[in-house]
Structure 1
Amino acid sequence: MGFVFPSCLYVIVDPAGVAGRTHLELARAALAAGVPLLQLRMKHADTREFIDCARAMRALCTQRGAKFLVNDRVDIAVLVDADGVHLGQDDLSPGLARHWLGKEKIIGWSTHNLAQAKAAQVAGLVDYIGVGPIFPTSTKERPDPVLGLDGLREIRAAVDLPIVAIGGITPETAREVLAAGADAVAMIGAIAHAPDPAALLKELRVLLDGPTVTKSKPL
């Protein structure tokens, strides 16, 4: 059996956008809400800072039995024994990442159009794909063209890989994104800027992992 997201809520911790909170505060809030997978993204951090953050989050996730992924930096993922990595189109290739990480680690790959999603499936090297942006987003410096729900549906119909949707998704739109074919949704800004992230995360866990969510194409 292939990779399955342990929750419909995929939490990305990005210190650049946590609105006055530390990355560890947001990570603790997510883990307290029962979130079973966290990704650490640090686009502008130096290597030493990234390593320190990754080690701290790895320890927290281990204590709570949660999966821990590192964005972009395969070398740091190896160093801290992360459960896997999430790669962008311009990062290390999935083939090299798989060589470094081995067969058991999780590899996700960001895709921004149908061609990239199909290529990810044909390559057979990744466990899931990120698809987006679904809606306009302010958390990425140079966002790709917006796919919309129709673009997500088109990709869902063409590939069998698990999909985490990202980009401009809010608590109000998350369920329709799942219904359009995503297996999980990532929300960065909506969670980081919430007055009480811990309370919102608990609400989202109930909302998204409840029995009434219907996916267009189950795994």
Structure 2
Amino acid sequence: MVPDLSGARLYAILDLGYVPEPKIEEVTRALLEGGADVLQLRAKGHSEERILEFGKRTRPICRDAGVPFIVNDHPSLAVELDADGLHLGQDDGSLEEARKRIGPDRLLGRSTHSPTQAKQALEDGFDYIGFGPLFPTPTKKGRPGIGLENVEGVEQSVGMKIPVFCIGGIKRANLEDVISAGARRVVIVSDLLTASDVSSAVRQARLQITGS
């Protein structure tokens, strides 16, 4: 059975661009202890062998916490790690191709950068989408922020059927603006991973999103 993300509000990404390899387990635990509802492993520029190693270190922590574990980009690793899902960018292939590789019981997420792409992902049958980047972000160099003007429209259309996680340059400092624009779910990366107290930062973000 595909994991249910309907109650998820804060999606965390363990991005190896920000997390030193020796601290992978420590940061993963801190993200989950703070209240992250989903955790994705993202390790751009690393070999599949290395990503597999990282996944073997993080997957059990997520399983023990009951938090869905998502692999970025690599269908074969999602299967080998028994991940709960796979996240694909716009240029990472079709849903049909990925679904054949990972089977029917894993989540499939898609990055989208416009209302048109968001609606297409819904029509294609993805289980959830990322929508952004709302603001310029170092993790997506060269891609301008799309702003907040379409957040409410996408939430009211696509978000009524599958979870929409707003992403890209979102920090605790601008989170109120994102929520006010109509977002119900968000992805926060660097602001959490670079915090002096990761768990505390996650708790603060959750409070801003949910009010409790």
Provide the C-alpha distance between the structure 1 equivalents of 2:122 and 2:49, rounded to a whole number of angstroms: 34
Against the structure 1 CA distance between its residues 153 and 39, is the aligned structure 2 distance closer, same or farther, given a 3 Å change threshold? same
1:168 alignment partner in structure 2: 169
C-alpha RMSD of the superposition: 2.1
| 1:15 correspondence with 2:16 | yes
Offset at 1:21? 6.8
TM-score by length of 1: 0.87
TM-score by length of 2: 0.89
2:127 alignment partner in structure 1: 127
Provide the C-alpha distance between the structure 1 equivalents of 2:5 and 2:21, rounded to a whole number of angstroms: 33
Offset at 1:122? 1.6
Task: Provide the aligned length of Structure 1 versus Structure 2.
Answer: 209
Moved segments of 4+, more than 6 Å:
none
CA contact (8 A) 1:19 1:192 kept: no
Q: Percent identity, aligned pairs only? A: 37
CA contact (8 A) 1:3 1:127 kept: no
Offset at 1:5? 4.0
Against the structure 1 CA distance between its residues 21 and 204, is the aligned structure 2 distance closer, same or farther, given a 3 Å change threshold? farther
Against the structure 1 CA distance between its residues 164 and 206, is the aligned structure 2 distance closer, same or farther, given a 3 Å change threshold? same
Deviations 1:114-157 (Å, cap 9, x if unpaired)?
A: 22112112212x111110011121222332x3221102223234
Offset at 1:113? 0.9
Match of 2:209, SS? helix
Q: Which runs of 5+ in 1 are unaligned?
A: 212-219
Q: Which runs of 5+ in 2 are unaligned?
A: none
Against the structure 1 CA distance between its residues 19 and 164, is the aligned structure 2 distance closer, same or farther, given a 3 Å change threshold? same
2:110 alignment partner in structure 1: 109
Which residue identity is paired with 1:154?
A: G
Comparing 29-38 with 109-118, greater Cα deviation is found at 29-38
CA contact (8 A) 1:19 1:193 kept: no
Match of 1:149, SS? coil
